[in-house]
Each structure stands twice: as C-alpha cells, then as structure tokens.
Chain A
Amino acid sequence: MTGPLPVLTATDGPGSPAEEPRLELPLLEPFFRLDRALLGVEVLVLGLLLAGMILLGLSQVILREFFQSGLAWADGLIRHLVLLSGLFGAMTATHARRHLAMDALVRILPGKARRLAEVVVQLLAAGTCFWLLALVIPYLREELAHGGEVVAFGITQPQVQLAFPVAFAIMGFRFALMGLNDGLLLCFPRAEAALRRGSGN
C-alpha cells in the first residue's frame, strides 16, 4: 500500500477499523479518569435526550392523528432537546477526537510533523473553547436576569442555555488534556517508548 492512511474523522462512523489504543501519560491519569467519568454521564444524558425526542414526537403524532389534539409545549421542548443533544454530542466528539475537520494536508505530512500539527490544533481548540466560555458567562448572566421564555415545566430558555458553558468547559478541558498529553509524549520519546512497551504496541 503506497497511499497515506486516512485520518479517520467523525464521518467514519460505525464499522470503522479499530483505533490504535491511545497512550496516556501516568502523570495525567487523574484527568483521564475524570474525562472517562464525564463521558459516561454524557452517554447517559444523550440516551435520555434521544428517548425524550422519540417519545414526545410519537405522542404528538398519535395525539394529532387519533385525537385531533396535542401538547402545546412538546414541540418546543423537542427542539430544545435537539440543541442539547448537539452540545452533549459535541462534548463526546471531543473525547473521541472526531470533530469534523479538513484533514487533507495533515494526511500527507510525515509522522512527527503530523503529530506536532495535532498538538498545535488541540491547544488552539482548547484556547478557543475557554475563550467562548469566558464570553458566554456574562451573556448568560444577563439572559438569566431577564428571565426569558418558558420552554416546559417552568424551565426557561436561558436555563437551557446553561448547557453552553458546560459544553465549552468540558470541550476545552478535553482539548487541553489531549494537547498536553500528546505534546509531552512528543517532547519525551523515551517516556512514549516505555508506554508503548507497557501497552504491548
């Protein structure tokens, strides 16, 4: 095979070839544990969001077709669940390193240059997420002070938007963790070699 291997992105989806196990520095282990614990919560929330969208959507169809009625708040709530699934899905995509990206150039870079490029973009992404976090907090404070429209069950739109800072914080944390881990591994090849031996690669 002479062609370069593709950098697998989110578009690869199900049936993708198994990923190479990631090397994690023992120094950062507590942070990786936190990352995995957060992932568990995110998957649970995503499952509940999907179930909520399906059940509410189905109720609306049944109520309309058979009883000529419907729940006034359900459509709005479903739309907000979609937004939340996008934000939680984006957090999960950060863990899986599968955000959509243009990787045409990276694909043709040699090994070390490619890894360096990955570290740089991870740190840039971390910085951006933390900056967005700093921008969204005063915006939300103002929105919460105004109250805003009720979505359902007394929950207002700005309260739903509280997911923004959560998403930016978690994505920023993950990008920073990956950038730090990969950057240190790149700087200390001996530590990397020892980890590879340990993981059987």
Chain B
Amino acid sequence: MTWIIGGGLTLATLLGAPLFVILALVTVLGFMADGQDPAILFTEIFKIAEQPMFVAIPLFTFAGYLMAESKTSVRLIDLTRALVGWMPGGVAIVALLSCAFFTVFTGVSGVTVIALGGLLMPALLQEGYSQKFALGLLTTGGSRGLLFPPSLPIIIYGVMAQVDISKLFIAGVVPGVLDLLAALVLCFILGRKGPVERVPFRLEEAWRALKAAAWEIPVPFIIFGGIYGGFLTAAEAAVTMALYVFVVEVFIYRDLHWRKDVPRVVRESMVLVGGILIIIGAALGLTNLLVDREVPDHLFKAIEPFITNKLTFLLVLNVFLLVVAALLDVFSAILVVLPLILPLAANYDIDPVHLGIVFLMNLEIGYSLPPMGLNLFVASFRFSQPILALYKATVPFLIVTLLVLGLVTYVPGISLWLLGVLQP
C-alpha cells in the first residue's frame, strides 16, 4: 500500500501537482501511519508566526516587484551603460550587472530574462555581439546575483536552516563578486573577439543617467548600511526598503499609480509569497516527520560507507544539487531538499553558512543547466529561439561559473573570510 501511495504521489509531483499539496499529503499520511495526530501539520505551519525572520519574505518580495513593475530596469541599464559602456565588452558588462542587480531584487526566476531580455538583447546585437554570445549571457544572467543581499533564496535558506540571515548576506558577497568577475572576464575576452563597437564615455550622459536613477541608487545602501551598520535587522531592512521603494516609485517617479497599478503589484508579489510560505509551512511539517522517523540518520548510515569524507560529500552534493536545480525552481529546491541535506552536512562537519553559499550557487547554475534548467525554457520562450541553440550558447558561461563553484565549495574561506572580518 505504501508503495502504491508513494508511486502515486511521485507521479502527481512529476505531473505538476502543487508542491505544497504533495508535502502536506506526505506529512499527514506519514503521521497517520505512525499513529500520531496529523494536526501536527497545522502547528508546524503556525510556526511561521513564531519566527521574526519570515517578515523579510513578503516585504522584500513586494519591494522587488514594485521595482520590477516600474521603469527601474530602463534607468538601471541607462546608468550602467553610461558608466561602463566605454570599456571593452562594455555593453556586455552592462547586461551582466543589470541582470545581477535585477535578480537580487526580484528573486531568481524567469523575471530577469523576461523583463530585461527585451531591452538588452537588441542593445547587445546592435553593438555587434553575436546572437550566441547575447543569448548565453542573458540566459545565465537570469540567475546571477543570487548570492547578493537581499536575494529571496538566501532569506529562505536562512529561515529553513535556522541560520542568521545577516551572516548569510555577508558570506555571499565574496563568492558573488567572484562569480561576477569570472563572467566579466569572459565578456571581456569574448567582447574583444568580435568587431564590437564601444560607446565613448560622455560625462554629461553619465550625469544625466545618474540623476535619473538618483532615488534608486540608495536602495542597496539602505540594506547594506542598515544591516551591517547595526541599525536594522534583516526584517527591519525589509520594512524600510518596502516603504522607501513604494514612496519612490509611486510618489516620486510616479511610474506606478497607487490605485491602478499598486493593487496589481500587491497581488502579483503576494502570489509568490503565498506560494512560498504555504510550501514552507508544509515543509516544516515534513521536516518534523522526517526527524521523527530518524530519516536523516538512516540516510547518513546508508551513505557513510561510500562517502567517507567532507570533500567527497561536497562533490556528490554539487552533482545532486545541479540535477535538483535543473528540475525544480530555486524556492522549491531549497524547501524540499534542505531538510534532508542539512543534518547530513552537519555529520560531515560542514559549516551551515558555507553550506548555504554552496547550496545556492549550485541552484544558480542548475537554473540554466541543460537539458531542463528553467531559465533555458524561459529564454527560449522570450527570444523565440530553439532550446538547442540555448544549450550551446550557455556553455562558456556555465563553465566559468562551475569553476567558481569549485573554488567556493572546496575553499570555505571564500565564503567565511568576510564574516570573520565583520563579525569576529
């Protein structure tokens, strides 16, 4: 009977059943099979109201959606183009930085490719970049930036792993910069190959773009300064950012009308928040069941003879997570897989902050990894290109990010060094 139910639920998952439904069913059925009260699920969902960290999720998401729905993307591209467009590979660098910035504030999803792709693709082609290069850059750009604060996946990892979000925010900075630098070097090299025209630097143009984006430039500083200056917790930084961005986009830039547009933004952002929080609730229930049944212990005993040390574990983890990330969206991947990985990693003595950065970086790559990475499908849809063309286009970008992943995985200091400096 258990096998039939298990098979049915697996099939339903593969057929696209909402993940919260599957997790809730497994939890309820599991507790009933153990002779326990299935209502434990509800007490677990209610834990969302007991942890202050959860506050960051709806507010950062709302602020990110406000920026995504206003003309932030246009001002952002204008600004980076005026500032770095003169460099070799300049427009490519503009695309890379804009994508990273946009991904940070909207979460890792198809949003970046859809919202920025239409603006950046013609700009790249016009400047003489090949279509293959532009496709690769924009497709992988849809998940780059995931390691910078206040990206939603970092917050969700912190919530699920019970790790201080501020620590994760700090730990993500160096690996995130390395990842960007590696891609920048690639842009520099590939940008020099072709007959790419450079945009000359013009001071008045830079000043104009700077003035246009003047109200949005402080946003990252509010978050960084607030959290690292010790004035604000991550949740309070989310409150401040949501209010600031609301005032800026609705009353200063007037990109969004409070009656015509804001309700739509509320609805769109809360659809994502609801989707995430309901899975978190169900995943908390499932975690309780797994711990109750000592599943992580059994799993550790099963893999211990084959995976004898930390390095092998990390290698296997990398491969496993890349596959998971290619099949699930980032949020679901964290919520479904983390409860199993976390206790295993603890057995191999892996720092949960380091694990978080490795975990998230794998998800970043998996999101664009052939054959099933979601970004590939979103980009195929957005740019009307065959999926095979995207497989080829993303290869160089994926290789450089995989190299950085290797470094970040096996040199924990890359993630933990800045944390040691700022929070000794």
Contacts and interface: CB of A to CB of B under 8 A. Distances in A.
Interface of A: 1-17, 39, 43, 46-47, 49-50, 53-54, 57-58, 60-61, 65, 75, 78-80, 82-83, 85-93, 96, 98-107, 117-118, 120-121, 124-125, 128-129, 131-132, 135-136, 138-139, 157, 160-161, 164
B307 interface: no
A90 B274 contact: yes
Contacts, number: 268
Contacts of A118: 16
Contacts of B110: 6, 8, 11-13, 16
15 contacts: A3-B387, A13-B68, A14-B268, A57-B236, A57-B239, A83-B49, A87-B277, A92-B267, A98-B272, A100-B331, A102-B328, A103-B16, A124-B21, A135-B41, A161-B46
Please give me the 4 A-B residue pairs with the lowest Cβ-Cβ distance, nearest first. A89-B274, A86-B277, A3-B387, A57-B239
A120 to B, nearest CB: 7
A109 B122 CA distance: 33
Given A2-B388, A12-B378, A135-B39, 5 more contacts: A3-B388, A14-B69, A17-B381, A49-B58, A82-B48
Q: Which of A60, A100, A161 has the most CB of B within 10 A?
A: A100
Nearest to B281: A86
Contacts of B376: 3
B281 A92 contact: no
Interface stretch (B7-15, B347-355, B404-412): B7-15
Q: B interface, by DSSP: helix, strand, loop or mixed?
A: helix
Greatest chain B CB density within 10 A among A2, A4, A91, A101 is at A101
Given A46-B266, A50-B58, A101 B16 contact: yes
A139 B18 contact: no
A41 B266 CA distance: 13
Interface of B: 12-21, 24-25, 28, 38-39, 41-42, 45-46, 48-52, 54-55, 57-59, 62, 65, 68-69, 106-111, 114-115, 231-232, 235-236, 238-240, 242-243, 246, 262-263, 265-281, 327-332, 372, 374, 376-378, 380-382, 384-388, 390
A101 B21 CA distance: 10
B278 A87 contact: yes
Given A99-B275, A102-B13, A135-B38, A1 B49 contact: no
A90 B114 contact: no
A79 B49 contact: yes
Given A15-B111, A104-B327, A164 B272 contact: no
A99 B386 contact: no
A8 to B, nearest CB: 8
A115 B330 CA distance: 25
A6 B263 contact: no
Which has the most chain A C-beta neighbours within 10 Å: B42, B270, B277, B377?
Answer: B270
Given A6-B374, A89-B275, A57 B55 contact: yes
A56 B271 CA distance: 22
A15 B71 CA distance: 11
Contact of A90 (B38, B235, B277, B387): B277
A119 to B, nearest CB: 10
Given A54-B59, A85-B277, A125 B18 contact: yes
Q: For chain A, what secondary structure do more than half of its interface residues adopt (helix, strand, loop), or is it mixed? A: helix
Contacts of A54: 59, 239, 242-243, 246
Contact of B271 (A82, A93, A139): A93
B42 to A, nearest CB: 6
Contacts of A4: 377, 387
A182 B135 CA distance: 36
Given A6-B380, A10-B275, A93-B271, A61 B232 contact: yes
A61 B239 contact: yes
B85 to A, nearest CB: 24
A83 B16 contact: no
Contacts of B50: 79
A125 B17 contact: yes
A136 B378 contact: no
A15 B103 CA distance: 13
B20 A90 contact: yes
A88 B358 CA distance: 33
B28 A90 contact: no
A13 to B, nearest CB: 4
A104 B231 contact: no
B17 A101 contact: yes
A6 B238 CA distance: 31
Given A107-B377, A121-B16, A161-B46, A13 B55 contact: no
Contact of A78 (B28, B55, B231, B276): B55
Contacts of A157: 46, 49
A10 B279 CA distance: 13
Contacts of B277: 82-83, 85-87, 89-90
